[in-house]
């Protein structure tokens, strides 16, 4: 019997999360390198949030048997999803604002002095694009709209998994059952 509450104990679940994040980063690089869509500062911050979720998934993948690393991975997943959702929604709101004067953002990413990612890896973290530009749409949503949906989904799944894991941990039951043999 497979339950949502037991997912954090399973390396395969963390591998799926990592592969999903890898797919998102691959898509971002495809848009940037192949379609020549330049990322803006908020795009780079969303990229960092996806990387945060991916790194949390790696922690969970290799430490799913230990409660401390499992909880660190869950917290990292929730925090990165939440921050990504805030940034993506703000970016979406900025692009859909009626006043183009407010559709601007910083000229360079604001990384810490001890980790200037945009200087170390400019191909991945430089932000030559403008936040207000809508260069791509699918089904009526631009990139920030889709990232808002994706981060909201990741956050919702993370919350459900965490709550079920807490219930499962305290009740010693399987939690919310999704599959019966």
19: CATH: 1.20.1550.10
Q: So which residues are the catalytic ones?
A: 40, 43, 47, 105, 131
Residue 122 inside a domain? The answer is: yes
From first to last of its 181 residues, the chain has per-residue pLDDT tens of 457 667 677 778 899 999 999 999 999 999 988 988 888 888 889 999 999 999 999 999 898 777 888 889 999 999 999 999 999 999 888 887 777 666 667 777 777 677 767 767 777 777 677 777 778 778 888 888 999 999 999 999 999 888 888 887 777 655 444 443 4
Kindly tell me the burial class for residue 161, based on how many C-beta atoms sit within 10 Å of its own C-beta (0-12, 13-18, 19 or more).
Answer: buried
What pTM did the predictor assign? 0.83
Domain that holds residue 85: 2-95+118-179
Q: Is residue 112, in this structure, part of any structural domain at all?
A: no
For residue 102, being part of any structural domain is answered with no
Please give the tally of structural domains in the chain. 1
Residues 61-99 have pLDDT tens digits of 898 777 888 889 999 999 999 999 999 999 888 887 777
């Amino acid at each position: 019997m497979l339950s949502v509450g037991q997912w954090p104990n399973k390396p395969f679940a963390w591998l799926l999360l990592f592969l999903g994040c890898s797919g998102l980063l691959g898509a971002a690089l495809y848009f940037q390198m192949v379609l020549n869509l330049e990322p803006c500062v908020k795009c780079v911050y969303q990229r960092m949030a996806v990387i945060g979720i991916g790194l949390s998934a790696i922690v969970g993948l290799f430490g799913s048997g230990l409660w401390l690393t499992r909880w660190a991975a869950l917290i990292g997943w929730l925090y990165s999803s939440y921050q990504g959702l805030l940034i993506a929604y703000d970016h979406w709101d900025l692009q859909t604002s009626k006043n183009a004067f407010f559709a601007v953002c910083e000229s360079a990413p604001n990384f810490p002095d001890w980790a200037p990612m945009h200087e170390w890896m400019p191909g991945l973290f430089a932000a030559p694009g403008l936040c207000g530009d809508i260069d791509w749409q699918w089904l009526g949503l631009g990139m920030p709209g889709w990232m808002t949906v994706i981060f909201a989904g990741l956050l919702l799944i993370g919350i459900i998994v965490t709550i079920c894991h807490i219930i499962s941990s305290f009740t010693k039951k399987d939690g919310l059952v999704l599959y019966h043999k």
